Amino acid sequence: MSEAAPQPHAAEARFAGEPAVALWGGTAMPLLGLGVWQVRAKETERVVALALDEGYRHVDTASAYGNEEGVGRGIRASGLPRDAVFVTTKMRPTRGNPQGELLESLERLGLEYVDLYLIHWPAPGSDRLWPAFERLHAQGLARAIGVSNYDTTHLARLVASSTTPPMVNQIEFHPYFWSPAALDEHRRAGVVLEAYSPLARGRGLDHPTIVAVARRQGRTPAQVLLRWAVQRGIPVIPKSSRAERIAENRRIFDFSLSPEDMAELDGLAMRRRRGVG
């Protein structure tokens, strides 16, 4: 397999220099984001504002999560200008009306546009939604567009049939569940692979291999798993509602894993799904 990875770069000034990856079309996406899947609606405002105060500049939600309103309130509570925060939301493909669904999400978020709009999962006929996603991108309502939970066959078909290809595919990705071949296929297609459940929902953090790498690095197991992904140029969206965990997950850009560390972690792949996003 090729180990060539998209090279992280300092993001546009709008993200205060957060390490980021460039998407097709020129949009920059911060490598670290806050995921709010399963964060209760009444908790979301606090969690988002806390993360933005900690330095995060990327928040990931979805219409299916039921907490878009809290995301919007958290962004406003942070005092940051809209352009300083990268916001992702997702459409349920069974709804069938991308423009109507995005307009409803924007109303809940209190925003005029999202930075990334995704088809949440591949449903029968969901590829037919893509021309509408392309129009949303052309209109500026979605600065970037993509998909989630697409396997490489789904993804290749959509790339081949599109005028504006998907820029991101958000899938489960961590050392227990990853495929070098799938990662290479995303890169050849020019699609950024984004990792949800990058901490495997907290299971397996006590694995001896992960613990040993963390001890060598003087870091926590969670920081090691996040670093394993971002060191490959893969954006991650760990979820937490605890202030200390949000702060801990932020501290992943001031160290590097050695080639030996990476190889040990690579070997944990079990191809067993541990979470959904």
Domain boundaries along the sequence of the chain: 9-202+232-243
Q: Helix (H) and strand (E) counts for the chain? A: 10, 10
- What string of pLDDT tens digits covers the 277 residues of the chain? 344 455 455 455 678 788 999 998 889 999 999 999 999 999 999 999 999 999 999 999 999 999 999 999 999 999 999 999 999 999 999 998 999 999 999 999 999 999 999 999 999 999 999 999 999 999 999 999 999 999 999 999 999 999 999 999 999 999 999 989 999 999 999 999 999 999 998 888 999 999 999 999 999 999 999 999 999 999 999 999 999 999 999 999 999 999 999 999 999 986 454 444 4
* Rounded-to-integer distance, Cα 105 and Cα 261, Å: 41
176 labelled catalytic: no
Instruction: Give the CA-trace dihedral at 215, 218, 222, 226, to 10 degrees.
Output: -110
Kind and range of the H or E element at 20? strand 19-22
* Per-residue DSSP letter, 12: P
Per-residue exposure over 211-236, b if at least 16 CB sit within 10 Å of its own CB, e if not:
eebbeebebbbbbbbbbbbbbbbbbb
- Kindly report the pTM of this predicted structure: 0.92
CA angle 263, 268, 269 (to 5 degrees): 110
Cβ pair 30, 18 in contact under 8 A: yes
**Alpha-carbon separation of residue 25 from 117, 127, 192, 259 (angstroms):** 14, 21, 12, 32
Which residues, other chains included, contact 176 with Cβ-Cβ below 8 Å and sequence gap of 6+?
200, 204, 268, 269, 270, 272, 274
**In angstroms, how far is the first alpha carbon of the chain from the final one?**
27
Per-residue exposure over 28-37, b if at least 16 CB sit within 10 Å of its own CB, e if not:
bbbbbbbbbb
Selection from 142, 121, 116, 137 nearest residue 30 by Cα: 116
* Rounded-to-integer distance, Cα 186 and Cα 246, Å: 29
Single out the catalytic residue among 56, 65, 176, 196.
65
Provide the β-strand partners of residue 35: 60, 239
* Rounded-to-integer distance, Cα 186 and Cα 190, Å: 6
Selection from 31, 33, 50 nearest residue 242 by Cα: 50
- Yes or no: is domain 9-202+232-243 CATH 3.20.20.100? yes
